[in-house]
Amino acid sequence: MTQAKTGRGKNIKPVRDAEATQAVILAAAEEEFAQHGFTATRTEAIADKTKVAKSMIYYYFKDKEGLYRAVLTRSHADLLETIQKLELEQLSPEVALENFLRALLNCVSRNPRLPTIMFHEAVQNQGKYYKESSSVNIDTILIAILERGLTAGVFRSLDPFQAAINIMGACLFYFIGAGNIKQFPQGKRLLSKAMLEQHAQEAIALILAGVRSS
């Protein structure tokens, strides 16, 4: 997609690649929306980051809201596909749960902006756009796994709905709190590869131990 720039006489500027430009805008928008949410994000901040003109946003995405929708759907679709590919219904509840968690954590580790995007959407917009962008959601999938494990007797007695939320929290809060947490004295780099892997391990261990029966 990103073919060679059509740089003739002048040294850098003229790019002229519709797809590339859109991709660049989307990437920058994702960062900005992830940090600030819809309202507080400035279109100019996105433009500055991309080094394309602000008006390109309106050319490709109509307005700020259109761009927001685009970011939201893309992020969410990415996560949802990954999870659905696992075909968790085929597996035993314990294995299904572990695979689910591993995939989820892997996905958000690759794109740590995802949790904060969803968070902003949930809090600021009360899930308005979120709802539009998908019929199925991942919580439902997790609930189903927990229910199967309950009836099979491999999980301890718990409320699937409540447990699903708390499990998601144990996985995702890390990314949401990252900004705050890095202010701590020890000043660890939470999004380094090593720390992300450790987080995945720790979260999975906590959850599996937390739901197992006996």
Partner DNA sequence: GTCTATACGAGGATAGAC
Partner DNA sequence: GTCTATCCTCGTATAGAC
In the complex, the residues that contact DNA under the rule CB under 7 A are 13-18, 20-21, 41-44, 51-56, 58-59, 62-65
What x/- string results for residues 137 through 176 when contact with a copy of itself is judged by CB under 8 A?
A: x-xx---------------x-xx-xxx-xxxxxxxxxx-x
Q: Which of 78, 89, 179, 192 touches a copy of itself by CB under 8 A?
A: 179
Q: List the structure tokens of 31.
A: 């960062």
Residue 129 partner contact from a copy of itself, DNA, none using kind-dependent CB cut-offs of 5 to 8 Å: none
Q: Tell me which residues in 98-117 interact with a copy of itself (CB under 8 A).
A: 116
In angstroms, rounded to a whole number, what is the distance separating the alpha carbons of residues 88 and 172? Answer: 20
CB 35 → a copy of itself: shortest distance, Å? 6
Q: What is the DSSP secondary-structure string of 76-139?
A: HHHHHHHHHTT-GGGS-HHHHHHHHHHHHHHHHHH-THHHHHHHHHHHHSTTHHHHHT-SS-HH
Number of residues that bind a copy of itself (CB under 8 A): 61
- Residue 174 near residue 203 (C-beta atoms within 8 A): yes
* Residue 156 DSSP label: -
Query: Hunting for tokens 């954590």 — which residue is that?
Result: 105
32 binds a copy of itself (CB under 8 A): no
How far is 141 from 152, CA to CA, in rounded Å? 17
Q: Do the Cβ atoms of 155 and 149 come closer than 8 Å? A: yes
For residue 52, the number of C-alpha atoms closer than 13 Å in the C-beta half-sphere is 23
Q: Does 53 bind a copy of itself (CB under 8 A)?
A: no
Least distance (Å) from DNA to the CB of residue 117? 17
**Which option in DNA, a copy of itself, none does residue 86 bind, with CB closer than 5 to 8 A by kind?**
none
Q: Can residue 36 be called a binding residue for a copy of itself (CB under 8 A)?
A: yes
Which of these ranges, 2-10, 18-26, 122-130, 145-153, lies near a copy of itself under the rule CB under 8 A?
Answer: 122-130
The nearest distance, CB 179 to DNA, in angstroms, is 20
What gap in Å lies between CA 111 and CA 79, rounded to an integer?
A: 10
Interface ranges with a copy of itself (CB under 8 A): 34-40, 116, 118-127, 130-131, 137, 139-140, 156, 158-159, 161-163, 165-174, 176-184, 186, 188, 198-199, 202-203, 205-207, 209-212
